[in-house]
Amino acid sequence: MILITGGAGYIGSHTVKYLLNNGHECLIFDNFVYGHKEAALTKFIQGDLNDKESLEKVFKEYKIDAVVHFAAYAYVGESVENPQKYYENNLVGTFNLLNIMIANNVKKIVFSSTCASYGNAEYLPIDEKHPLNPINPYGKTKLMVEKIMEDYHTAYGLKYIALKYFNASGASKDGSIGESHNPETHLIPLVLKAIKGDIESITVFGTDYDTPDGTCIRDYIHVDDLATAHKLALEKLDDFNGVINLGTGTGVSVKEIIDSAIKVTGVEPKIIYGQKRKGDPAILVANNSLAKEVLGWNINNSDIDNIIETAWNWESNKLF
Ligand code: UDP
C-alpha cells in the first residue's frame, strides 16, 4: 500500500487517481485544511503530520510500502508573512514523517518539491545542478527537506526522489477533479474565473519584463503529466536517489496564456495591465532531460491549449 500525504490536494488527488487506475492500493493522509474531501478518491485518514501519534498509528495499522508526500502549505506570499506556519507544517511535519518512516522500516519516499527551491534563475533552462537560493520560506522549507533526505539516504538508507514541479496546471479530462484553491492566486484559474464572470478582471502582473511580449514566462506542466512522473519515480527508487525537474522545457508568457484562454472559450475577459508582483522572476523554464533519461518520462497532456481546455472544463462544472 502507498501512503499519499496530501492526497486530497490538487496534485495529490490527480496522482492518487492515476495510481489507482494502474493497480496500486493507496491510503490518503490529509488534514483537509486545503484539501477537499470530495477529492479523496480512496480510503482516507484525517490527520496532521504534527500529530505524531496518529501518524505512527497509520504505520502500525497498515502495511505501507512507500510514501508519496504532497502535504504542505504552498502560498509563497503567506510564507513570507507567516514563516512559522510554513516551517511548522512543511518542515517539522515532514521531519516527523521521515522519522516515523525510518522507525517503522519504511524507506521509500517520493517528495513533492518545487522550482522555487532554485530561487532566481542564473541561467536557463534550469537543470538540477542550478544553484539553490530560494527567495521565500516556502521554497526554503522544500530545500531543507531535500537536504534532510540526502542525509537520511546516506545514514539510514532512505530511498528518495524529490520532484521539482514547475507550474502545475490543468485538470482531469473527465472533469471529476481539478484545481480548487481558496484563495486562488494562480494565473490560469484566475483568467478562467474572469472569463466566467466569477471575478471582474484579470490583472497582468508586469508588462515590461525582458521577454518578447514583456510579460513573465513560465513552464506550465499538466497535472496528469505530473501524476505519471510520480508512478515512474516510485518504480525507480532502487536505481536513483536525488532531485528531478518536472517541466516541459518550453516557456509560455502571461499574454500567451490569456490568448489561449480566449481561443478555447471564445470569451474575452477584462484585462488590467498592472504592476509587477514582488519576487516574480522574468523567466522560469525547466531543463527536463533528467526526468526523461532517469524516469523514461513522456509528456502527453501539456500542450497549452489542452491545459486550458481541461482547466476550463473543470472551472465551468466545478464539483468542489
Ligand atoms: N500572474 C499574473 N496575474 C495573476 C496571477 C499571476 O499576471 O493574477 C503571473 C505571475 O506574475 C507569473 C505567472 O502569472 O508570472 C504565473 O503565476 P502563478 O501564480 O500562476 O504561478 P508562479 O509562477 O508564481 O508559481
Q: Classify 2-169+221-246 by CATH class.
A: alpha beta
Give one DSSP letter per residue of the chain, joined into a string: -EEEETTTSHHHHHHHHHHHHTT--EEEEE--SSS-GGG--S-EEE--TT-HHHHHHHHHHS---EEEE------HHHHHH-HHHHIIIIIIHHHHHHHHHHHTT--EEEEEEEGGGT-S-SSSSB-TTS----SSHHHHHHHHHHHHHHHHHHHH--EEEEEEESEEE---TTSSS----SS---HHHHHHHHHHTSSS-EEEE-S-SSSTTSS-EE-EEEHHHHHHHHHHHHHHTTT--EEEEES-S--EEHHHHHHHHHHHHS-PPPEEEEPPPTT--SB--B--HHIIIII-----S--HHHHHHHHHHHHHT---
Domain 187-218+249-316 annotated CATH 3.30.420.340: no
Q: Is the CB of 254 under 6 A from ligand 1?
A: yes
- Tens digit of pLDDT per residue, the chain (320 long)? 999 999 999 999 999 999 999 999 999 999 999 999 999 999 999 999 999 999 999 999 999 999 999 999 999 999 999 999 999 999 999 999 999 999 999 999 999 999 999 999 999 999 999 999 999 999 999 999 999 999 999 999 999 999 999 999 999 999 999 999 999 999 999 999 999 999 999 999 999 999 999 999 999 999 999 999 999 999 999 999 999 999 999 999 999 999 999 999 999 999 999 999 988 899 999 999 999 999 999 999 999 999 999 999 999 999 99
Query: What is the CA(232)–ligand 1 centre distance, in A?
Result: 29
* Active-site annotation holds for 138: yes
Q: Tell me the CA–centroid distance for residue 154 and ligand 1, in Å.
A: 37
ipTM: 0.99
Calculate how far, in angstroms, residue 187's C-alpha sits from the geometric centre of ligand 1: 5
Parse the chain into domains and list their residue ranges: 2-169+221-246, 187-218+249-316
Would you say the CB of residue 253 lies under 6 angstroms from ligand 1? no
